[in-house]
Structure formats: C-alpha cells, structure tokens
Structure 1
C-alpha cells in the first residue's frame, strides 16, 4: 500500500468552506478511483490555512497514472483547486512499521 501525502495551503479566511469542499471532493470523486483504499485529512492549529491530506492507494500508479491521468482528477481539482494559495506539495511513502 502507498501513502500519498499532500501538503495543502489555502487562502486565508476560507477554512470553513474548504473543510466542506475537501471532504466532499474525496468522498464523491477520489473514492471512486482505481486502487483507492482510504483517506484522512488534518488541518493546522498553528497554521490554520495548512492541511495535510493522506490518501492510501494500492499502488503508486493508481495515483500517478490512473487517477492523475484520468477523468476524475479534473473533477477533484474543480472542487478544491479554487481554494489553493499555491500548488500542493505531494509525496508518496511506503510503510515501514506501525503500532497495533
């Protein structure tokens, strides 16, 4: 399983609207993608315009090829993109260990 971690910065004062938009975008769009296995999103306390979105994929290609290159990606960006203060920083991770 692959973890996609997106560090998102939004425009000031848009937190309430973005909270709704990001949840709606994941649950109505990304959740339909091939290889999607789950998600979680957190927002900053010290930096209230900062969000960390974690999405779990079966493979790296499920995100980078099938989702980003397919028809769902523009739908996702139409929902959340207008809030971005800058392009999100996205990286991928493999699990090394975890607690029970």
Structure 2
C-alpha cells in the first residue's frame, strides 16, 4: 500500500466549492479497484488548509492503473480548478498504523 497526500491552500470563498468538487470526484476514486480509501481533511487552526489522503493498493496501481483509466479523466476534470492551490502532492509508505 502507498498513501498519496495532497495538501491545498484554498481561499475561504472557494472552500465549499472545493469540498463539493472533491466529494463528487471521490465517486470515481471509489470505482477504481486501485483505490483502497480516501479522506478529505480540513485544518482546524488554519481552515484554508485541506489535505486529501488517498490509500492506493500500489504505486503502479495509482500511476499506471488509475491514471490511465476513464475514472481518472472524470476525477481530474472535477478537481482541476484547484490544481494551482496545491502545496504538496507526494506518495508515502506507511511505517506504523493503528485502527482503534
């Protein structure tokens, strides 16, 4: 498994549009066999900061599977207006985790 983290700085007047766009785009993540789960997280201290956390079954599944699928085209069309607000977009390996 690999975790993709996308950090955004979203202007307050665009926050609801951002949330709606990612919620709708999430339907295409759910359709992909390569996506295990995703989260939309909003900063408490800095409400203009958002994190999208996506668990992929593998790096190849994300980059070669999802990104070459019809689902990606729909997903990207929905979130593309926020592309310039990205602060970070990287993949991480999970070292330790707990489900409580």
TM range (shorter): 0.7 to 0.9
Structure 2 equivalent of residue 21 of structure 1: 21
Matches within 5 A, 1:1-100: 1-26=1-26, 28-87=27-86, 89-100=88-99
TM-score (norm 2): 0.81
SS of residue matched to 1:29: helix
Counterpart contact for 2:7–2:86, Cα < 8 Å: no
Which whole-Å deviations, capped at 9, do the CAs of 1:8-67 have from their partners, x for residues lacking one? 2334411112111111111x2111113211111111234333211111111111111111
Count, aligned residues: 99
SS of residue matched to 1:13: helix
Higher helix share: 2
- Per the TM alignment, residue 74 of structure 1 is displaced from its structure 2 partner at its CA by 2.1
Question: How has the CA–CA distance of structure 1 residues 68 and 9 changed in structure 2, closer, same or farther, with 3 Å as cutoff?
Answer: farther
- d(CA) in 2 for partners of 1:47, 1:74: 31
- d(CA) in 1 for partners of 2:71, 2:7: 20
TM-score (norm 1): 0.81
* Gap regions ≥5 residues in structure 2: none
